[in-house]
Amino acid sequence: MSRHLIRWILAILSVFIWPHIGIAQGDDLVSFHGARGDQVDMVVGLRMSGGYPSQLVRICLENPTQNATEKGLGNRRDVKPDLVVASGASGCLDLLPVRQTLVLWSRNTDGGFDISMMAPLDLRGTTGNIYFLRWSKEPAQNR
């Protein structure tokens, strides 16, 4: 899938699924790749007013219907994910605007969660922004 198509999809999602936030902006699409073949695409947008704490940074994760397993998102690897997103759903998590490590989880065959990838993310100076993550690819054995 092309960078522009992914960016367009995320922008459309921001309008229809997350109507209280702004459209993804900028040409920067960042992709995170896990060792097992997972891929998560990220773009950044500005949050519009909507009653959300502007001193935080919002991270939203979309888990498309083609993915077979639940996905998780957090900023610590020693506990279960703070956010669990079913296949075909999306959800958001608010974080402090500091250096963070995003921990992306995938449900395993035993019903628990395994870490799929970790991504350092410097959120300093990004208060009020929203990061759109789309789990665009998972390993073939999960399908």
Residue 31 pLDDT: 86
Residue 4 pLDDT: 62
Model confidence pLDDT, tens digit, residues 14-33: 444 443 333 344 457 788 88
Q: Fill in the amino acid letter for 73.
A: L
Residue 87 pLDDT: 96
Give every residue of the chain whose pLDDT is below 50, as ranges: 14-26
In angstroms, the CA 5 to CA 69 distance is: 24
Opening angle at CA 127, ends 117 and 38, nearest 5: 15
Q: Fill in the amino acid letter for 92.
A: C
The tokens for 101 are: 């490590």
Helix (H, G, I), strand (E, B) or coil at 110: coil
Q: Fill in the amino acid letter for 143.
A: R
Q: Strands 113-122 and 99-107: what pairing?
A: antiparallel
